[in-house]
Amino acid sequence: MTTPQRARFAEDALSRRATKVMTRGNTRSTLFVPPAPPYAVRGEGAHIVDQLGGRVIDANNNYTSLIHGHAHPRITAAVAEVVGSGTAFGLPTEQEVELAELLSARTGQERWRFSNSGTEAVMTAVRAARSYTGRGILIRFEGSYHGTSDAVVSRTAPGITAGVRSDVVVLPQGNVEAFDEVIAEHGDRVAAVLIDLMPNRAGLVPADPAFVEHIREATRAVGALMIVDEVISLRLSLGGLAAEYGADPDLITAGKIIGGGFPIGAVGGRADVLAVFDPLADTSVGWGGTFSANPVSMTAGRVAMQLFDAEAVQRLNGAGDRLRESLLAAGVAVTGRGSLMRLREPGEPADLWWAAYERGVMIGTNGLISLSTAMTEQDLATIERSIVKAAEQGRR
Ligand code: PMP
């Protein structure tokens, strides 16, 4: 429904300019809300300002990546310093070693490599598993988003070939029988099982620990690898959800918060698996990326992760738990864990998005709410009030 408030954004000069050069006026499909999205002008801690001068609380945080909100002074200072001495080199830098050391200490994964997005990290982790095992099949689960590489988008998506379809099996998450059936039939052709322990598009419902353990045992039994996609879930616990589950995966993928607001992706895992990227090996998997491991992303990520210490993780998860409980008590349908939640209200997601935006809170176009350490108690109270009202409006 296009209300006068929403129409103001579609009629705005910037929006008109944008649609002349870009289909629907922007790059990322996930940012589009009809009739036209607001454009961000600046970010200040927990807030953003749009092109019409509106100021809202950012409860989206660039789809969970801005763990400290916008322009955290410690991150901007570190970035300013590193930018002044060169932003990218045709040589490795100490900054990537530092971030790899930090991630290794936190997650327990022995070796790391960096990319510019979670999409690339997942794509390359899958290739690593295929190279390591010499097998082709990837098993993954319905309702999990792993970026936009061929193997992880819908098998029926336009542009996906029959070859890709035949190498990918998609199963309902948590269904042991369906999983065992595929393993029994094709186990010796399975390269990897890819799982998100709290899949966003499946509604942010945490995976059943018994199912996760079952996958670990089954993959070991048939010689396949287990890849845990921690691109979103790493923020939920100091060492990530895989460590908390005791899942002991062969590879994990990371992204979002580990870039401190800058482009990033990463694969971590066992040394012998990451050895598939060894440039001195007879055959090795290439890892490219002109801007992979650039010192800006590496520095911002390191500082952001240092600030997100055990106490900060716990505090933010506590704030999320309290917010979710209050929303549930007020009759709002919401799932999630810690600092991440997903509204499960009936109706058009875009209407809920606008209803929240018009009450001063920006959520994800998919109903995602992601907290940042920049939010005050007052911000959290505003989020609660606005979401309760937005959900009530949707039910009317
Ligand atoms: N995996 C998961 C679990 C994700 O949530 C995302 C992004 N939302 C990706 C992979 C892809 O990351 P990126 O958007 O950085 O390519």
CA of 125 to the centre of ligand 1 (A): 13
Q: Which of 153, 231, 252, 292 to mutate to test the pocket of ligand 1 (most atoms within 8 A of CB)?
A: 231
Q: Map residue 135 onto helix, strand or coil.
A: coil
CA of 145 to the centre of ligand 1 (A): 7
d(CA 132, CA 53): 53
Place of tokens 């499946």: 202
Q: Does domain 4-67+310-395 have CATH number 3.90.1150.10?
A: yes
CATH topology identical between 4-67+310-395 and 73-307 = no
d(CA 316, CA 334): 17
Structure tokens at 346: 């009936």
State the DSSP string of 372-383. Answer: -TT--HHHHHHH
Structure tokens at 170: 């998609």
State the pTM of this model: 0.96
Q: Identify the helix (H) or strand (E) that includes residue 341.
A: strand 340-343
CA of 254 to the centre of ligand 1 (A): 8
Q: Ligand 1: does its nearest atom lie under 6 Å from the Cβ of 117?
A: yes
Q: Identify the helix (H) or strand (E) that includes residue 312.
A: helix 310-329
**pLDDT tens for the 396 residues of the chain, in order:** 778 889 999 999 999 999 999 999 999 988 999 999 999 999 999 999 999 999 999 999 999 999 999 999 999 999 999 999 999 999 999 999 999 999 999 999 999 999 999 999 999 999 999 999 999 999 999 999 999 999 999 999 999 999 999 999 999 999 999 999 999 999 999 999 999 999 987 789 999 999 999 999 999 999 999 999 999 999 999 999 999 999 999 999 999 999 999 999 999 999 999 999 999 998 899 999 999 999 999 999 999 999 999 999 999 999 999 999 999 999 999 999 999 999 999 999 999 999 999 999 999 999 999 999 999 999 999 999 999 999 999 888
Kindly list the domain boundaries of the chain, sorted by start residue: 4-67+310-395, 73-307
Q: What CATH code would you report for 73-307?
A: 3.40.640.10
Distances in Å between the Cα of 329 and the Cα atoms of 284, 323, 324 are 54, 10, 8
